[in-house]
Amino acid sequence: MMISSAGFFYEHVELVYAVVFFLFGAAVGSFLNVVICRLPYSLSLLDPPSSCPKCGRSIFGLDNLPVFSWIILKGRCRQCKEPIHWRYPAIELLTAILWSYVALQSVTVNDYGFYQNIGVLMVTLVFVAMLVVVTFIDFDHQIIPDEITLGGMVVAVAVAALLPDFHLSRSPEFTTLFPSVPRPVLSLLASFAGAAMGAGSMFFISLTGTLVFRAHISKVNEKEAEIRSAIGLGDVKLMGFMGAMLGWREILAAFCAGTCFGAFAGIFDKLRSGRWPNREERAEHQMSLADIFLFRWSSGNSFIPYGPFLAIGALFIVFSRDYVMGFFLGLFAHLFR
């Protein structure tokens, strides 16, 4: 029986990894819901235990199974019968899918040796979970907690020292340029270079954008110009954290991808919040179809946080690293040849 079980595992290792880490991911997603709800208010993540957001009664046992309990209870609290928001199981399911995919990648792609493989897998799973937390907290509160960004930088330094393959596989040029330097030292240099590139580039863009933004706003409202900023420092620290994990090349690719995602979302949100011109306005200005869309665009008002899209860009790089980096390297080689 043991032999047949071991044989099944080796024959279907990808399926086993996917199922096991899907279940672990769902459980972690349940905890991430707690983090997302409590961390912005500096509340304890462990006490009190999970409770209904409406009646406040504790949720125990079978009612606390990720995703499945919400389905079985038809999205309602067992005690007060009030609806529980669909986002809770959605975050659990999202984390489960992401963790499952990361585990599959570790089986089919990574080849650092057994212990390095396990370490890289664990670090990547934690990184993905932190990005999920950042995304939803920033959407809800327009803040990115320092516990995630600054704490993540500390984690990145520890990872660089203990798992050099995690960083050097992303920044192989350090090994080429300094072949005699110990790998942990090179890994630390790669991590610091990524953090500097991420935070430095975002700070420069934030500073430049703020100066331009204030110059424009000051023509309308001088007081408002003194307090408005184009990009928050939370985004700068987020880019530093992600750069420390991804390295200088991948953080630039993540920034480009995240900016594209954010631009599309901003365009959609601005169009959604605008209004169509009425019949008199269309007749008065003899509007074409393009004019009608421009009117809706100009009448819209959009404000969406930047952090979630930077995090999505980083996730995009984690899951499509070879394809995306190959595309960007080919693009730059074509532009600067």
Q: List the structure tokens of 115.
A: 């212990």
**Are 83 and 216 found together in one domain?**
no
DSSP classification of residue 49: P
135 domain-assigned:
no
118 domain-assigned:
no
In the block, tokens 């860009």 appear at 313
The amino acid at residue 171 is S
Q: List the structure tokens of 7.
A: 């044989």
Pick the range with the lowest mean pLDDT from 176-185, 270-279, 302-311: 270-279
Q: Is 2 or 106 the better-scoring residue by pLDDT?
A: 106
pLDDT at 337 over 70: no
**Are 89 and 151 found together in one domain?**
no
- Which phi and psi angles does 324 have, rounded to 5°? -70, -45
pLDDT at 224 over 50: no
Please say whether the beta carbons of 178 and 269 come within 8 A: no
**Are 66 and 178 found together in one domain?**
no
pLDDT for 57: 81
State how far the Cα of 146 lies from the Cα of 238, in Å rounded to an integer: 9
Please say whether the beta carbons of 248 and 199 come within 8 A: no
119 domain-assigned:
no
pTM listed for this prediction: 0.86
Q: Which residues contact 17 (CB under 8 A, 6 or more apart)?
A: 100, 103, 104, 106, 107
* Residue 286 zone, left/alpha/beta (φ > 0; ψ -120 to 50; rest): left
Res. 225 pLDDT band, cuts 50 70 90: very low
**Are 102 and 178 found together in one domain?**
no
136 domain-assigned:
no
Q: Which residues contact 102 (CB under 8 A, 6 or more apart)?
A: 21, 121, 124, 125, 128, 318, 319
336 domain-assigned:
yes
State how far the Cα of 169 lies from the Cα of 49, in Å rounded to an integer: 40
pLDDT at 154 over 50: yes
Burial class for 67, CB neighbours closer than 10 Å (0-12, 13-18, 19+): middle
Between the alpha carbon of residue 227 and those of residues 211, 223, 337, the distances in Å are 12, 7, 44
* 235-245 pLDDT, tens digit each: 999 999 999 99
**Are 34 and 177 found together in one domain?**
no
Domain end marker among 71, 98, 113: 113
* 275-296 pLDDT, tens digit each: 888 888 787 778 888 777 787 7
Domain end marker among 74, 94, 113: 113
pLDDT for 275: 81
**Are 255 and 299 found together in one domain?**
yes
**Are 105 and 148 found together in one domain?**
no
Structural domain of 90: 1-113
137 domain-assigned:
no
The amino acid at residue 33 is N
**Are 93 and 160 found together in one domain?**
no
Domain count within the chain? 2
**Are 50 and 171 found together in one domain?**
no
Pick the range with the lowest mean pLDDT from 4-13, 56-65, 97-106, 259-268: 4-13
Closest by CA to 167, choosing from 152, 149, 183, 181, is 183
pLDDT for 40: 94
99 domain-assigned:
yes
pLDDT for 200: 92
In the block, tokens 């080429």 appear at 176
Residue 40 burial (CB count, 10 A): 16
Residue 328 burial (CB count, 10 A): 17
Please say whether the beta carbons of 149 and 237 come within 8 A: yes
Domain end marker among 97, 113, 129: 113
Query: What mean pLDDT do residues 138-163 have?
Result: 92
**Are 190 and 335 found together in one domain?**
yes
**Are 93 and 172 found together in one domain?**
no
pLDDT for 211: 74
**Are 162 and 275 found together in one domain?**
yes
Question: How many residues make up the chain in this entry?
Answer: 337
134 domain-assigned:
no
